[in-house]
Amino acid sequence: MPGERPGRRLVVVTGGTKGVGAGIARAFAEAGDEVVVCARRPPQAPLDGVEFAPLDLRDPPAVRAFFGRLTRLDVLVNNAGGAPHRLLAGTEAERHARVIDLNLVAPLTASLAAYDLLKRARGSIVMIGSVSGTRPSPGTAAYGAAKAGLENLARSMAAEWAPEVRVNTLVVGMVRTELSHLHYGGEDGIEAVSRTVPLGRLAVPTDIGRAAVFLASDAAAYITGAGLLVHGGGERPAFLDAATVNKPDREH
């Protein structure tokens, strides 16, 4: 457990050992915060200025014990989540339920366990949501359903726990991580997918980290119950490219 360091906030990032979570942890550490990441397995490479604590977030008693050992907490980032590509009809319900457990129930469990500490500090929670929760998500339907529920949960928490605890959601688009090839293919696939984003690239974990630091900062003191889109402008509607009229004049 982290030591007492007056003047520094304590930030817990769930699932903060790789990818987006590691980017979030680094961003808070660079902002001068004391950061603890918790996951089942430690990071492959140590994160500078970040402490690791082993924790299975799908084990409620273990989650309660983890937060019970803390003496203070200023920010909780519920980042742990994800899902493999699984078509609905090709997978049994129990495996889909495990995806919902990790992406929706685990953040609820962690938030409840952290509530008293956050209330005492007048702290904040940042949920890491997804655009998959705002549109159809074929192949990751349970994940999309969980992320939709997570954003609604955050709004309800914000209403119930105000004014002591602020709760917001980062609605994240496509991010380039060490696992991008599993979703988009190799470099050619990543480049092709990047061209569908108005800003012309996938996000990197640092983009998400900086947005999380903002939502947890005093600069966002009047923001709660909000969903901040971090998706590079979203996705160009497919019908615009399929239509045979109103095309840009490529010759001028």
Alpha helices in the chain (DSSP H): 19-30, 60-68, 93-100, 106-121, 141-161, 180-184, 187-194, 205-215, 238-242
Total residues found in the chain within this entry: 252
Token pair, residue 33, equals 């915060």
- Just list the catalytic residues: 143
Using the structure block, give the residue that is written with the tokens 């590691």: 22
Token pair, residue 222, equals 């009047």
CB 106 within 8 A of CB 56: no
CB 25 within 8 A of CB 13: yes
Cα 126 to the center of its chain, rounded Å: 8
Helix (H, G, I), strand (E, B) or coil at 33: coil
Token pair, residue 198, equals 């108005």
Rounded distance, CA 134 to CA 234, Å? 11
Token pair, residue 136, equals 């159809």
The sign of the CA dihedral 177, 148, 211, 50 is: negative
Q: What phi and psi, each to the nearest 5 degrees, are found at residue 169?
A: -125, 135
